[in-house]
Each structure stands twice: as structure tokens, then as C-alpha cells.
Structure 1
Amino acid sequence: MDIRQMKYFIAVVEERSFTKAAEKLFIAQPPLSRAIQNLEEELEVSLLLRNPRSIELTEAGRYFYENAKKIVHSEVHLKKMTQQIGGAHHTLRIGYIGSAIYSELAECIKSYRLQYPQIAIHVEAMNTLTQIEALKSGKIDIGIGRLKTLDLEIERIILKEERLYVAFYKEHPLLQEKNNQVLVLEDIVNEPLILFPDTAQPNFLSNILEIFSTKMITPSNLFEPVRDVQSALGLVMSGLGISIVSEGLVNIYSKDLIFIPLNEACAVTPIILSHRKNESYTLVENFIILSKQIFGVH
């Protein structure tokens, strides 16, 4: 039994046809059929029920299919990572959540480039859930996100807990009432609230709603979620409502909007560095060490 046979079997199962699987694999059908037959003979079990119009998996076939996929995926990942660690590709690939670039992350990337000029850095904006899948598939080496996800293959390091701020247009009546001081969630629970993003949850929006839930209150005047922070703050500038953002964005928009911090222990959003667990990779280790220094993680 070898990887080639596993790939053949997976193709047959997913195409539900020897003919279509052979076309997908760019081989003739007879060798494909013989390979599957040899596999069954070696295992001494039937993996497929062959019907005139389709094929079905036996119970043993289902077990073999699920585990063969894991082995094939591991083989591809092993090859890719061995090439990278062996120097075939001197590139550090980072996936990051858009708002994190306004934090110390920008300084981390700049410092890494200066300290390791021989290493190319490829950065790509992607949400945290996409980062996790990209890490597991080997597409990226470092993920910078905000969600506290749990995955046994991924190691997470909290670099920072950013304070949350409420963004107001300059003529908002609540500014005079509160004299531009700190706020609590109850102060804004009935205000028109513009949140983001409008992508699949969990995301930054769900984090904000969870913070309200912690205080057992619910915003009563929520806008339909908008695409991103730029869209949200554009609507705030238009006087349509208020929004909640991380502290890294405050200086970027301070000329056009007023930002007041939320005085709640739970009103924070983390910046989390994620990487593959139990993997010794110098490019990644150097970035982690540098990031901890710049963010002040002990």
C-alpha cells in the first residue's frame, strides 16, 4: 500500500466513478481499476460496492477514505515544509487581520526586514478563520488575528489586548453629555450602532456582541453589518450612528471623528499570533521572538 494507491482511491470516491477519476488523474481506467483491486486484496477487505451506475463505500471503505485523506494531506504538507525549511524558499508568509496592521505589527514587519534582509516577506490580508486553515495547509507561516480559536494543530500567543473605543461624529449629543470622558456599554446601548465586518461569524462583530452579552445587555438599534472598518467609520462621519473600533485605529481617523474609550474590563480585543504547533522553523521562530520584544510580551 502506498500514497499513489491512496490518491487513486480518494479520486474514485470523490468522483463516484472510475471513468471520471481516471480522467481527473490523467490515466487510463484499467490501471486505475487494477490499483484499487490490488489495494483491496492487500487489505483483505472490500472498500467499494460496485453498482452499474455508481459506487458506494463499505464501512471499511469509509474508514479508509477518511484516514487516507489525512495521510495524503500530511504527505503534501511534509514535502512543502521540508522544502521551505531546507532553504528552497526563503520567504516568510504572514496572514493578518486588516486592523492589526495599525498596531505594533507594522513595526515587527519593518524590523524583521531590516534584521533579516535575505528573507522575503509575503503578507496577505485574511480573517482569522482563513488564517487557521492557511496555516494548517502550509499556505502561510504566521497568522495575526483576533479570535481566540482552539485548534490542536495551532499554537497561539496573545501579543496584546487592545482597548476598545467608541467612534462618534463631532456633533454627536452624547459627547457634550459625557464631556468626552470614558463610557460604559450602557451609555451606548440605545445609540444607532454600526458594526463590521459582514463576513461569516465568528469575527470582530461577534466579539463586540459578546462583550455586550457579558454585561447582559443588547444593543437596541443595530445597523445591518457593513463590510469593513472603513465603511463603518465612513457612515459614522455621515452622522448615521456610532461604531466601536480597536485602539490602533484611533490616531488614523482622529482628525475626522471623536474617539472615547470604553471603561469596561471586558471591552478589549486581542492581537493573537498563531503558528503551527511543534514545528521548528527558524524564519518563524525569529519573527515570534521579535514580535514578543516589540509588543512587550514576557
Structure 2
Amino acid sequence: MELRHLRYFVAVAEEKSFNKAAERLFISQPPLSRQIRQLEEEIGVTLIDRDNRPLKLTEAGEFFYDHALQIIKKSDDLRAMTFRKGSFDNSLSIGFVSSILYGILPKVIARFREVYPNIEIKLYELNSWQQTQGLVDGKIDVGFGRLLFEDASIRRMVLREESLIVAVPINHALVKENRTSINLMDLTNENLLLYPTAPRPSFIDYVLELFEARNLKANYLTEVRELHIALGLVAAGEGLTIVPKTLEHLRSQEVSYIPFEDGHLTSPIVMSIRHFDKSELLKTLLDVTYQIYDEEGFDYKREKI
């Protein structure tokens, strides 16, 4: 069984016609029919009920179709990732979520440039889910995000946990009360401005899971497109939002930032790379990140590539 046999079968299954599948594959119909018949003989079962019009898959054919799609996708992903690896020595493409750009990422990139001044660095603002797709498609080589997703082709390393804080309008009652800390229960009846709306899952879902884990519910929430809009609406007195601590300098004349009481509400900073990628560029990027963590006095757990 070869990969082309799977592609032929998938085309027939989706077109429900040998003629249409042959047109899609740019081959003639008789050879296509022979290839599918040989595939069925090799497997030992009938995959397509040819008595139906349009053609219909047998139960075994449905099973084979689902798995053939997965194999073809993995093959295409491998091709894209290998192609990207071939051009890896001349450039480094980095995906990031906007909140991390306000942290130490600029320092990491600047330090990395000192080590590799001739490497072209390309930056892409992508949420954590988009970074997964970007790594598989070969668009990026490494991603810095805040959500964890399961994908067999991607390795995720939690670099550290960053404290979350609440952004509050400067004239809000919580500020007037001189509150030095807050808890999630205090926010259940506040208008929470959560971001980003798309693509999902996003940081919105992470925040809502924090409430659910404590048997709490955010009774009033507004989903907004991005972080900057959320902070702008907070400054206008339209609500509160939850952000990582590294953002506490933004709009400081209009927004106050209050930490959570227990200090355990955090957001992970996740570095994602392709599994088994042992590039020296990635190793240097990770080493530089830890150097800056040490200089900044951050707690973290060291990983290795």
C-alpha cells in the first residue's frame, strides 16, 4: 500500500464517482478503478459499494477513509515541517501572543541577535492555537503562547508561571477602598472584559476555567477582540479585565492594577517547538530566555532541547 493509493481512495470516497475522482486527480478512469480494486484485494475487504449511485462506502470503507485522511495529513505536515527545517539555518520565525511581547520577549530577541547577528528573525502575532498550526504548516519555528494543546507533533515547555492581576478603572470602588489585593469572588458581579474573541480556544476560555475550578461564575462578561480594546474599555470605566502582571505598566494614568490575594492565579508562558527539533538556534533561544529570567529574578523550571 502506497500513499498515492490512499489519495486515490479518498478522492473516490469524497467525489462518490470514479469519473469525477479521476478528473480531480488528473488521471483517466480505468487506471483509477484498477488501483482501488488492487487496494481492496491487498487489504482483503470491499471498501466501496459499486452497486450504489452515487457510490457509497462500506462500513470498512468508512473506517479506512477516516484513517486514510489522518495519514495523508501527517504526511503533508511532515513535508511542510521538513521543508521549513531545510531553510532553518538562515532565519528563525517566532510566533507570539501579544501579552508576551510586553514581557521579556523583546529582551530575548535582542540577546539572541547578539549571538546570531546574521540570522533573519521573523515575528508573527499568533494566538496559542494558531501557533500550533503554524508549527505544523512550517510557518514558524517556535511559538510563545499561554495555552497548552495536545498535538503529537508539537513539544510544549512551560517556561514559567506568571501572576495574573486585575485591571480596574482608577475611579472604581475597589481603588477608592485602597484594596491591596482581590479574589475571583469579588469579580463575579463585575462586568468582565475578556479577550480575544477569536480564534477559540483563547485566553477567554482560560480565565473562565479559573472561575469554574473554584465553583464560581462570571455573571457579567463582554468578549472583546483584543487585549488593547479590553484595556481601553477599562480606562473608559466600562468594566474590569484580567491580565498578566507584565502588563501593569500599560495605561497607568487611567488604569489601576490589583493583584490576587492568594498569588496562585497564574498564566503559563509556553514555548512550543516541533517534536525532536534539536536545532542549535532553538537551544540558544531557550538558553537566552533563561539567562534573562535569572537576571530578572523569576522563578522557573529549566527545560532542555
Instruction: Judge same fold: TM > 0.5, yes or no.
Output: yes
User: How many residue pairs end up in the alignment?
Assistant: 296
Change over 3 Å in CA distance of 1:185–1:77 after alignment to 2: closer
Q: Secondary structure at the match of 1:124?
A: strand
Q: Distance in 2 between matches of 1:285 and 1:56?
A: 51
Query: What is the Cα-based RMSD across aligned positions, in Å?
Result: 2.5
Q: Are 1:56 and 2:65 an aligned pair?
A: no
Tell me if structure 2 keeps the 8 A contact 1:113–1:119: yes
Check the 8 A contact 2:146/2:270 in 1, yes or no.
Answer: yes
Cα distance in 2, alignment partners of residues 65 and 81 from structure 1: 24
Given the superposition, is the C-alpha separation of residues 38 and 198 from structure 1 closer, same or farther in structure 2, using an over 3 Å criterion?
same
Q: Which residue of the partner structure matches residue 216 of structure 1?
A: 215
Question: 1:291: Cα distance to partner?
Answer: 2.6
C-alpha contact 1:211 1:266 (8 A) present in aligned 2: no
Secondary structure at the counterpart of residue 66 of structure 1: helix
C-alpha distance in structure 2 between counterparts of 1:96 and 1:139, whole Å: 13
Counterparts of residues 75-90 of structure 1 (less than 5 Å)? 75-87=75-87, 90=90
Q: CA deviation at 1:200?
A: 5.5
CA contact (8 A) 2:81 2:135 kept: no
Aligned equivalents of 1:69 and 1:104: distance in 2? 41
Contact 2:18 2:32 in 1 (8 A): yes
Tell me how far apart the structure 2 counterparts of residues 243 and 173 of structure 1 sit (CA, whole Å): 15
Superposition TM-score, scaled by structure 2 size: 0.85
Mapping 1:56-205, distance limit 5 Å: 56-87=56-87, 90-177=90-177, 179-199=178-198, 201-205=200-204
**C-alpha distance in 1 between matches for 2:147 and 2:197:** 16
Cα distance change, pair 290–172 in 1 and its aligned pair in 2 (3 A) = same
Number of the residue aligned with 1:18: 18
Structure 1 runs not aligned, ≥5 long? none
Residue 256 (str. 1) matches residue 254 (str. 2): yes
Distance 1:276 1:38, change over 3 A: same
Kept in 2: contact 1:85–1:281 (CA 8 A): no
Q: Distance in 2 between matches of 1:29 and 1:293?
A: 62
Deviations 1:75-104 (A, max 9, x none): 333333334434477332222222111111
Aligned-pair distance for 1:272?
Answer: 0.7
Q: Structure 2: which amino acid aligns with 1:176? A: K
